[in-house]
Structure 1
Amino acid sequence: MTARVGVPTLGRRAVAEGVGTAFLVAAVIGSGVAATQLSPDDVGLQLLENSLVTGAALVALILALQPVSAAFNPVITLIERALGQIDSRAAAALVLAQVVGGCAGAVVANLMFDLSAVSVATTHRDGPDLWLAEVVATLGLVTVVFGSLRAGRTGTVAYAVGGYIAAAYWFTSSTSFANPAVTVARTLSDTFAGIAPASVPWFLLAQLVGGGLGLALVAYLFPTTTSRAALLDPEATHE
C-alpha cells in the first residue's frame, strides 16, 4: 500500500525545492571536481563523468521529492505559473528557494573537496553559439518535463529529465546549464563546472527565451493537461 502525502504546504514545497536544488548543484560541481582529479588529462572523460553523475542525481532527487515539489529550476516554476498550476506567491517563494538552495549546494561542494567555501568562477562562457545552445537546451528540457506531465506519465518524468540532461551535456556546446538557479550557483565555484559572473546575464536570457519557446511548443502539442492532483500523485495516472 502506498502512503499518500496529500497536497503539500508552500513551506514544505519551498524546502523541497531548496534541498533538491542544493543537492543538484552539489552533484554538478562535486562531480566536476572529482572528474578533474581522477582524469586530469582527459577532458572528454571528465565531461562523461560529470554528465552521468548529474543525470543520475536528477533521477534520484525527482523520484524522492516529486510528491512534494521537484522542479529545481526557476524556468520550470515560471512555466507552472504561466499555466496556472501555481500562483504568483508560490512561484516567487519556490524560485527564491531554488536560488538559495543552489548557492548553498555550491558552497557545500567546495567544502567537501577542501576548497574555499566561495571562489568566484573565472571560466568565461560567451558567444552566440553558447547562447543558442542554452535556448535549445532549455527548450528541450521544458518539452521533456511538460510533455511527460501532460501525457499523464508522471512516473516517468525523473528518468526522462535525467536522461535528457545527461545527453544535453554532450549535444549542446554550452553543456546544457538550462537552469537559472544552477547557473547563478555555479559562479561560486572556480572549478570545472564554474561560470564567470560576467557570462551569466546572457545565459539567463537565453534560458528564459528557451523556456518561452518550450511553453509555446507544449501548449500547441498538448492542448489539454491532467489535473494538478494527478500531477502530485503518480498513482493517479496510468500509461
Structure 2
Amino acid sequence: MTFARRVVSEGLGTAFLLAVVVGSGIMAERLAGGNVAIALLANAIATGAGLVALILMFGTVSGAHFNPVVTLSEAWQKNMPRTEVLPYIAVQVAGAFAGVAAAHLMFGDPVFFASEHVRSGPAQWWGEFVATFGLIAVIIGCSRSRPSVTPFAVAAYITAAYWFTSSTSFANPAVTLARSATNTFAGIRPLDAPGFIAAQLLGAAAATLLFCWLYPAPPADATVAGTVAPSDFAPSPVSEHARAGTTRPGSYD
C-alpha cells in the first residue's frame, strides 16, 4: 500500500471518527431532554459502532490508528517506519478538526467555537491515563494474539470506557485538541486539553512497555501497521477449494 494512500486513509478515518463523536453528542444532547446519562449512553453507543465500521474500512490500508498515541506506540514496536510518524500525526490532527467542522455544519452550528466544558483535576487526568493505558493494552494484546477481533475489542473498550472513567475516555490527543473547538456535549476547554494529553502520553507509554513484555512480538507482516491482520480479509482456504470444485459446501479438509 502506498504511503499516500495510508496518509489519506488516516486523515479521512479520523475525520469520520470526530464527526461521529461530536455529531452523536449534539444529537444526543438535543434529544435527551436534559438527561445527561441518556445523552452519554447515546454518544457512547454511536462512537463504538462507528469505530468498528471505521477500523474495518481503513484497517488494511493504514492500520486505522486515528490516534497519535497509537501511532507512537506502533512506531515504538517497529510496526511502522519512524519517518511516517509525523505525517500520520499531522493528518490525524487535521482530520480531527475537519470532522468537528463537518459535524457542526450538519447541525447548523459555527464551524469552530471554543468549548467551555470544564474537564480538569487529578481525578480526570488519572481517568485519561487509565483510559489510554487500556486502549493501548487492548490493541497490543489483541493484535498479537487474535488480530481478527481487534476492531471489535477496541470499539467495545472505548464504549465501556465512556462510562467507567471519570474523563469519559478521550484517550486520543488529536481528539482532545479537536474537541476543544466544539462547545457542545463532547467538548473540552482548550485550557484543559494539555493535562489530558499529558496523561494520554503517559498511559500509552506505560501500556506499551508492559504489554510488549506480556505478549511476544508477532511475525513480520502479521499485521498492517500493528493493528489489523491482512489474512482476516483474504479468502479462506475452504472457500478457495469450494470455488475450485474440490470440496462440498460445509465440508472440512
TM category, shorter = over 0.9
- Which residue of structure 1 aligns with residue 95 of structure 2? 101
- Which residue of structure 1 aligns with residue 209 of structure 2? 216
How far the C-alpha of 1:40 sits from its partner, in A, is 2.1
State the SS of the aligned residue for 1:66: helix
How far the C-alpha of 1:229 sits from its partner, in A, is 4.5
2:49 to 53, 56, 69: 56
Partners of 1:59 and 1:234 lie apart in 2 by 18
Which amino acid in 2 is paired with 1:184? L
- Which residue of structure 1 aligns with residue 3 of structure 2? 10
- Which residue of structure 2 aligns with residue 36 of structure 1? 29
1:140 to 134, 142, 146: 134
Which amino acid in 1 is paired with 2:60? P
Deviates more, 1:105-114 or 1:81-90: 81-90
C-alpha contact (below 8 Å) 2:44/2:162 kept by paired residues: yes
1:159 to 145, 152, 155: 152
How far the C-alpha of 1:146 sits from its partner, in A, is 1.1
- Which residue of structure 2 aligns with residue 23 of structure 1? 16
- Which residue of structure 2 aligns with residue 201 of structure 1? 194
1:183 to 162, 176, 180: 176
Partners of 1:124 and 1:77 lie apart in 2 by 28
Structure 2 residue 231 is matched with structure 1 residue 234: yes
Which amino acid in 2 is paired with 1:102? A
C-alpha contact (below 8 Å) 2:140/2:212 kept by paired residues: no
**Mapping for residues 76-115 of structure 1, pairs under 5 Å:** 76-115=70-109
Which amino acid in 1 is paired with 2:110? S
Q: CA RMSD in A?
A: 1.5
What is the CA deviation profile of residues 195-222 of structure 1, one whole-angstrom value per residue up to 9, with x for unaligned ones? 1110011100000000001101111111
Partners of 1:220 and 1:181 lie apart in 2 by 27
State the SS of the aligned residue for 1:178: coil
State the SS of the aligned residue for 1:126: coil
TM superposition score normalised by structure 1? 0.93
C-alpha contact (below 8 Å) 1:121/1:186 kept by paired residues: yes
- Which residue of structure 1 aligns with residue 247 of structure 2? none
What is the CA deviation profile of residues 57-113 of structure 1, one whole-angstrom value per residue up to 9, with x for unaligned ones? 000000111110101000000011111111222111111110000000001101100
Which amino acid in 2 is paired with 1:235? D
State the SS of the aligned residue for 1:68: helix
Rg bigger for which structure?
A: 2
What is the CA deviation profile of residues 101-146 of structure 1, one whole-angstrom value per residue up to 9, with x for unaligned ones? 0000001101100000111111120000000000000000001011
- Which residue of structure 2 aligns with residue 116 of structure 1? 110
Which amino acid in 1 is paired with 2:71? T
Q: Which runs of 5+ in 2 are unaligned?
A: 237-253
Partners of 1:226 and 1:192 lie apart in 2 by 43
Q: Which runs of 5+ in 1 are unaligned?
A: 1-7
TM superposition score normalised by structure 2? 0.88
What is the CA deviation profile of residues 2-37 of structure 1, one whole-angstrom value per residue up to 9, with x for unaligned ones? xxxxxx111111111101100100110000000111
Count of aligned pairs between the two proteins: 230
How far the C-alpha of 1:162 sits from its partner, in A, is 0.6
C-alpha contact (below 8 Å) 1:149/1:226 kept by paired residues: no
**Cα distance 1:210–1:113, how it changes in 2: closer, same or farther (>3 A)?**
same
Partners of 1:135 and 1:227 lie apart in 2 by 30
Which amino acid in 1 is paired with 2:232? E
Deviates more, 1:208-217 or 1:85-94: 85-94
- Which residue of structure 2 aligns with residue 3 of structure 1? none
